[in-house]
Chain A
Amino acid sequence: MLVRRRHLLAGAAALAVAPQAARAQAKPRVTFISQWSSGSDGAAISGLGKRFEEEGGVWQHSPVPGFTTDMMNKLRAEIIGGNPPAASQLKGPEIAVWSKIAPTVNLDPLVAAAGYEKLIPAELVGLHKPQGHWIALPMQVYRTTTLFMSRPAMKKVGADKAPKTWAEFNALATEMKKAGIIPVANGGIRWDDGMKLEIALSGINCESYRGALMKLDPKALKSAEMLQAFAQLRKFADWMDPNIAAQHYSVNLPKFLKGEMGMLMMGGWAQGVIKNLGGNLDDVLITSVPQDEGKPVFVLNADSMIFWARKEPDLTAGQQLLAKLMMQKDVQEKYSQTTGSIPVRTDVDLSGSAWTDGQREASAVLNESFKSKRVLLSLAHNMAQTNPITAAMIDVLTEYVHNDKVTPEQGVARLAAAVDNARG
């Protein structure tokens, strides 16, 4: 009855899947769990499901209501119960962690057949091949360092372009505040607070971010750039609406679209949220957040699906079909068009009318950052670190944002201490 880790490790050797669905006599079927039960994510995953069924498969998606943790609980309970889904949502470093507790499917043959690996940003590739072969596939890419500016608000203060450095940003924010506009339209929930720091730091210095938030280098965590980032974070906190400071940013969107709030620093998905609320994207200028170093940085957040080893032939056939579909251009295009993300493949043409300027701009930045090696992984969205470390760090960050008695020096010290404690 006791589940021994070593026993599971032994069984975690991935089972290889042959590209041709040789022995699948039953209809390919896939059981899938995710947290995407509604909104644009829900629509996108249902779209994928419909496509799966059009190709002759049986799609069985059980979204888990609640937060991501609820979905992970369910996944873990099912794994413990010996009955994992054929595929499930999972992302970032967690793929590596979870792949050690249950056997996964070796997708190398399928990936090689599609020539997929060279089409994806290298940072992503590593996350999906933790033990050297592909066991998961990315589904969509978002940029977290997107700056949304309310055109009505800009008009009010006479600004005609977006700020390019943090100094310009701060000056513009001060102008807006004087004009009675709330400068920062972000919300105050945990990951939002975490994002604000990563946006500040990545805008200040790309390598500092890489060292501090991705490699957890103690020197980088206590560097001058980090101190500067915390000071900037304090400014963000002061410029947010004190009255609805602890809620989801979407609560602020009506005011933002009217021009009562000025700037939103959010991931590309906000585009879809704005559209869903009936907002007009023409009222919004979408660009990159300020970069003190001049060259653009792309902080990446990607959703992925991981494939769990199953013995049933209909499920293995289903997994192959799903993997194949997920790597296809048209499937990725449709998925990203529904959610407002960027397709994972870098060879997709975004010039059509189905794509927005925001997506085009983000994709261009991605390609450029990819070439100049300035692609970073998002901390707040669980791409840079595993859940425990991310959670401990965000504890400090969210506390800092909501408690103005904590100084930037204290913030930096607390963050470093939290990292130590979480790792120890």
Chain B
Amino acid sequence: MKGRLGRYLPLLVIWLPLLINAGHVVGFTAWTTWLSFTPSDLLPEYDWAGIRAYRAVLRSENTEVAYINLLLYGVGFVGLTTLAGFVLAVLIDQRIRAENLLRTIYLYPLAVSFVVTGTVWSWLFNPGQGIQKFVRGLGWADFRFDWIIDRDLALWTIVIAAVWHGAGFAMALFLAGLRSIDPDLHKAAQIDGASPLRYYLRIAAPGVAPIAISVLVILLQYAIKTFDLVRAMTGGGPGIATTLPALVVYDFMFQRAQLGRGSAAAVLLLLSLLLVLLPYYAWAHWRARKERAANG
């Protein structure tokens, strides 16, 4: 009897929380997908409405601008953050002084919420109160830094704020990766007379490639889900110049109280996430199989 209890209790402990979590993931996704095919407005309705909601969402001016923005923002944010993170990690790895201090300075933005990040950066970018006014106050009367109200440049202010927030995280991951490379390789390279640059390009970079992929994926999914930051910084403006897919979902679901269309927008968002994740999983799977083969 004790043996059986001993065998089943762990299963219960394992399964219950996991089941609840998996249940919520599958259930909520299924429910949202179902709703996207209904004419729901303020409250859920469960009649079939075909792809009407999808058509309306795709034809809406919001959506087009949002996905173009996502492309620009995604590339900008992920690219710059990854680059910054890698460079910072490499530089810090050079056995510099005040490593702890610098590392903390780079990491602390992660502690700040997106709402506060967006709010404070919106103060800084505000032409009437922020950097532009400050520099003008110093004497450069023609200095202009009003990107945030410029239709074409506002998105980049969001990129800057997002890079500020995430660079430390990328740095931490790359640093972890660099530090887990066998130190003997580094010594061997030095003995061989290879310059540090060569070491980093030839040995370290490939060594941290797996981490880089993880960084890219995590950052990309953050980019796709970006919501609070934009809301706090520009509210999607000027006009709809900085709107992003997550804001479109919120707009349809809550601002316009059109649940059906909001759910369709959410499903589109999930599909774009899958577009990023499936290749990653396939790659991770392939790599794991290669490793297993190599280890015999």
Contact = CB atoms under 8 A, between A and B. Distances in A.
Touch A–B, Cβ below 8 Å? yes
Contacts of B59: 421
Which of B62, B250, B255 has the most chain A CB atoms inside 10 A of its CB?
B255
Nearest to B237: A246
Given A2-B44, A391-B255, A399 B240 contact: yes
Interface in B18-64: 41-46, 52, 56, 59-62
Which of A8, A97, A190, A401 has the most chain B CB atoms inside 10 A of its CB?
A190
Contact of A98 (B42, B44, B46): B42
B230 to A, nearest CB: 14
What's the interface size class on A, roughly?
35 or more
A396 interface: yes
A242 B290 CA distance: 59
A274 interface: no
B127 A392 contact: no
17 contacts: A3-B44, A4-B45, A5-B45, A72-B254, A97-B41, A97-B42, A189-B237, A243-B128, A245-B149, A246-B238, A246-B239, A392-B60, A398-B237, A399-B61, A399-B240, A414-B61, A421-B60
B interface, by DSSP: helix, strand, loop or mixed?
A: loop
A388 to B, nearest CB: 4
Interface in A218-272: 243-247, 251
A418 interface: yes
Nearest to A79: B43
Interface in A1-51: 2-5, 8
Interface residues of B, number: 32
A72 B257 contact: yes
Interface in B156-183: none
A89 B38 CA distance: 28
Interface of A: 2-5, 8, 69, 72-73, 76, 80, 97-98, 100-101, 188-190, 193, 243-247, 251, 386-388, 391-392, 395-396, 398-399, 401-403, 414, 418, 421-422, 424
Contact of A424 (B45, B56, B149, B239): B56
Given A388-B258, A391-B251, A398-B240, A418 B61 contact: yes
Which of B41, B61, B149, B239 has the most chain A CB atoms inside 10 A of its CB?
B239
Which of B44, B235, B256, B258 has the most chain A CB atoms inside 10 A of its CB?
B256
Nearest to A418: B61
Contacts of B241: 402
Nearest to B152: A403
B62 A395 contact: yes
B47 to A, nearest CB: 9
Contacts of A387: 255-257
Contacts of A246: 148-149, 234, 237-239
Contacts of A243: 127-128, 146, 149
B285 interface: no
